[in-house]
């Protein structure tokens, strides 16, 4: 047994299997709608944070407009389902593809700008432009009043997604969440992932080694945007109401970044940890009402100051040292 635990890869696989098994069987022990909804949102925000982390954590493109891509996926999917009668099972992919195209356009500033502050400001501005456009296209989006009457996912046989039971939506999100993490891990370990790492370290050095910086930046932006839009579509067809400020506002953008920073940027596990810890933590602090936002801010500040690598970025080196000692 001791020899087994010296095998870091085996331990890592065992931890992943345990986590997946745990979140898979939770509905067998509790079907309380509130608990299931919170866990569903944990996976959703972890997935969105992972899509942002692919761009910012691995490619080093610190974008502040990711929430706009999430919102675009939500709005486009909802409008196609409401106006054209397209089933949400198809419209969420239309929304995700639309977000990917817009993400490619948003990536343009990062092709010219190399310093993080300029990229952050440029993407923040573009994200805000998207929010304002959605806010002012009242005939299509109903503006600040919000888009309501969004159809839920159509039933699959006897399985209904109308919200009476949260279990079907939970397992749908579980599949989307696991697929996103698996694909992200595959990308990170692929030649594209190696190229992104080189770009993050030094664009000039990456170019000298033959890395196509422009192509890789656009590709990673499109992939991250696609996943953000896909999760946005799920959000829309699960909560059934949208407002521009809720799904495209700056607060959501900071929230997504917080998941990555607290969990640990540039890691697969980091955004997952951040998504679960912050979402559950905020619910546990709900009794504090508005004061919980102060606690939330303090936690983020403390993590950034004392755990610069985030939770996983701080814990992982300690585990590595323990393995080396054994």
pTM of the model: 0.92
pLDDT tens-digit map of 238-293: 999 999 999 999 889 989 999 999 999 999 999 999 999 999 988 888 888 777 77
The pLDDT score that the predictor gives to residue 165 is: 83
The pLDDT score that the predictor gives to residue 136 is: 92
User: Among residues of the chain, what percentage have pLDDT more than 90?
Assistant: 54
Q: Which has more pLDDT, 62 or 304? A: 62
Please compute the mean of the pLDDT values over residues 97-105 and round it to a whole number.
94
Q: Is the pLDDT of residue 2 over 70?
A: no
Band (pLDDT 50/70/90 cuts) for residue 295 is confident
Q: Which has more pLDDT, 142 or 309? A: 142
- Per domain, the residue ranges of the chain are 1-30, 32-253
Q: Cβ(291)–Cβ(275) under 8 Å? A: no
Contacts of 232 (CB under 8 A, 6+ apart): 69, 70, 71, 72, 73, 74, 75, 77, 95, 96, 99, 247
Band (pLDDT 50/70/90 cuts) for residue 226 is very high
pLDDT tens-digit map of 30-79: 889 999 999 999 999 999 999 999 999 998 888 899 999 999 999 999 99
As a whole number, the mean pLDDT across the chain is 88
User: Among residues of the chain, what percentage have pLDDT more than 70?
Assistant: 94
Q: Which has more pLDDT, 109 or 239? A: 239
The pLDDT score that the predictor gives to residue 30 is: 86
HEC profile of the chain: CHHHHCCHHHHHHHHHHHHHHHHHHHHHHCCCHHHHHHHHHHHHHHHHHHHHHHHHHHCCCCCCCHHHHHHHHHHHHHHHHHHCCCCHHHHHHHHHHHHHHHHHHHCHHHHHCCCHHHHHHHHHHHHHHHHHHHHHCHHHHCHHHCEECCCCCCCECCECCCCCCCHHHHHHHHHHHHHHHHHHHHHHCCHHHHHHHHHHHCHHHHHHCCCCHHHHHHHHHHHHHHHHHHHHHHHHHHHCEECHHHHHCHHHHHHHHHHHHHHCCCCCHHHHHHHHHHHHHHHHCHHHHHHHHHHHHHHHHHHHHHCCCHHHHHHHHHHHHHHHHC
The pLDDT score that the predictor gives to residue 171 is: 96
The pLDDT score that the predictor gives to residue 1 is: 44
pLDDT tens-digit map of 116-129: 777 888 888 888 99
The pLDDT score that the predictor gives to residue 323 is: 66
pLDDT tens-digit map of 143-164: 988 899 999 999 998 888 987 7
The pLDDT score that the predictor gives to residue 93 is: 97
Band (pLDDT 50/70/90 cuts) for residue 186 is very high
The pLDDT score that the predictor gives to residue 179 is: 96
């Amino acid at each position: 047994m001791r020899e087994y635990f010296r095998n870091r890869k085996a331990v890592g696989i065992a931890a992943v299997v345990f986590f997946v098994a745990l979140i898979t069987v939770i509905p067998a022990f509790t079907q309380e709608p509130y608990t299931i909804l919170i866990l569903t949102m944990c996976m959703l925000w972890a997935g969105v944070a992972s899509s942002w982390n692919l761009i910012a954590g691995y490619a080093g493109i610190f974008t502040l407009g990711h929430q706009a891509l999430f919102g675009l996926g939500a709005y486009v999917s909802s409008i196609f389902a409401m106006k054209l009668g397209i089933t949400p099972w198809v419209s969420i992919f239309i929304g995700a593809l639309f977000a990917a195209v817009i993400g490619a356009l948003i990536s343009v500033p990062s092709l010219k700008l190399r310093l993080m502050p300029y990229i952050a400001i440029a993407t923040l501005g573009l994200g805000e432009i998207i929010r304002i456009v959605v806010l002012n296209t009242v005939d299509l989006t109903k503006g600040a009043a919000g888009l309501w009457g969004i159809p839920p996912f159509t039933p699959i046989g006897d399985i209904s997604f109308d919200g009476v039971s949260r279990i079907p939506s939970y397992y749908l999100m579980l599949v989307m969440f696991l697929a996103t993490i698996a694909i992200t891990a595959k990308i990170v370990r692929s030649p594209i992932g190696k190229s992104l790492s080189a770009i993050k370290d030094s664009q000039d050095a990456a170019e000298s080694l033959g890395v196509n910086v422009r192509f890789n930046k656009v590709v990673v932006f499109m992939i991250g945007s696609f996943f953000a839009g896909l999760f946005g579509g799920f959000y829309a067809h699960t909560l059934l109401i949208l407002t521009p400020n809720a799904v495209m506002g700056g607060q959501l953008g900071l929230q997504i970044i917080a998941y990555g920073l607290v969990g640990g940027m540039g890691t697969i596990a980091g955004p997952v940890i951040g998504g679960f810890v912050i979402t559950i933590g905020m619910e546990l602090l709900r009794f504090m009402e508005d004061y919980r936002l102060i606690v939330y801010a303090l936690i983020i500040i403390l993590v950034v100051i004392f755990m610069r690598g985030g939770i996983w970025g701080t814990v992982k080196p300690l585990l590595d040292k323990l393995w080396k000692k054994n």
